[in-house]
Chain A
Amino acid sequence: MLTVNGEDYQPHPGETVLDLVAGRIGRTLEPDGRPADGGRLGVAVAIDRAVVPRSRWQATELAPGQTVDIVTAVQGG
């Protein structure tokens, strides 16, 4: 079990950050983290309060006990 955006989450075996993000935004992502639809992706991920660069999403498997935050731009300021 781990925490994603403040809620408990049970990852699938071998699930990576790339898999998690793609599922949350409902878009297919290339291995380098770019959207397959050619658009831009305004999302960032931190694990245990450290940013995981997009280029490392595919290589980063989710692990029990982690705190994962997926953020995007919202209205503000």
Chain B
Amino acid sequence: MTDSTPTDTLTIDDTLTIDGVALPSRLIMGTGHAASHEILAKAVEASGSGLATVAMRRLKPGEGDRLFPLLSRLGQRLLPNTAGCHTAADAVLTAELAREALGTDWVKLEVVVDDGTILPDPPELLDAAKTLVGKGFKVFAYTNDDPVLATRLESLGVVAVMPGGSPIGTGLGILNPHNIELIASRAQIPVVLDAGQGTASDACLAMELGCDAVLAASAINLAADPVAMATAFRLGVQAGLLARRAGRIPRRSLAVASSPSEGLVTAS
């Protein structure tokens, strides 16, 4: 026994502060692909999330604005995105519509190419980020796993960078852990791993690499059991944060026995 106090997973400080707002969880819930609002509500509750993304689209006849009050009832702060925008001008207009509709200046900025990869378009992304920061938006910038681009975005004044582990919806996980770790080690603002996760171990790895939070949508909402997967992601994020703080052992090329060599009784 030692005198040091063991870290209790149940009392681990799970709060993340962005733009002066303390979020109750380091898991941000993406709402895309949910089979229904009812299943989404259960998954959001299971995730423990306090921040949920939404997209801004034309109002459909007879559908009203049901998602906004639903997420508000669930205690979610909203993070509207600019998904589907291919130019800075489109992204700025979408962000302005979101601010007017939802009463928040937070925006997840996505400016992406239309070639099947949905990867960020760096020149348009930087242009949009600069404009939106100038207009008073708090920009969460969806970016690729490029440490240089992340630094450029930070210097423009975004409040968080959100590198993708792999392209949106692929479930390929974190394809370049080294770059994600580099981004996290250099950033002075929160780093949120976004896109490409397939299962909870991807979220755990992101936190182990030093990310401050994780955003998951498809991996939860398209899982066979979204509520169970939301729980798994919540625990994965907690496990990864705890492991990061605990400090992993160094990697070695040769084995190091974990039992003593002294005192072994041999047959010869």
Q: Name A's B-contacting residues (CB within 8 A).
A: 5-6, 24-27, 39-46, 49, 51, 53-54, 69-77
- 23 A-B interface contacts by CB (under 8 A): A5-B58, A6-B58, A26-B62, A40-B72, A40-B103, A43-B59, A43-B65, A44-B96, A45-B100, A51-B100, A69-B97, A71-B59, A72-B67, A73-B67, A73-B68, A73-B78, A74-B57, A75-B32, A75-B54, A75-B55, A76-B32, A77-B79, A77-B81
* Interface residue from A25, A39, A42, A53 paired with B102 (Cβ < 8 Å): A42
> A-B contact count, CB below 8 Å?
109
Chain B interface residue count, CB cutoff 8 Å, equals 40
- In the complex, whether B101 has a CB less than 8 A from a CB of chain A is yes
Task: Verify B217–A77 contact, CB threshold 8 A.
Answer: yes
In the complex, chain A residues whose CB is within 8 Å of the CB of B62: 26
A42 to B68, CA, bound (A): 6
Q: Give the distance in Å from the alpha carbon of A27 to the alpha carbon of B59 in the complex.
A: 14
Q: Report how far A46 CA is from B89 CA in the complex, Å.
A: 14
CB of B143 closer than 8 Å to a CB of A:
no
Q: Which 5 A-B pairs have the closest CB atoms?
A: A76-B55, A42-B68, A77-B53, A44-B101, A44-B100
Within 8 Å by CB of A25, from B33, B65, B215, lies B65
Given A5-B59, A51-B100; A75-B65 close (CB under 8 Å): no
Q: A25-B59, A51-B100, A76-B32 are in contact. List 10 more A-B contacts (CB 8 A).
A: A5-B59, A42-B101, A43-B65, A44-B96, A70-B59, A72-B59, A73-B65, A73-B98, A75-B34, A77-B110
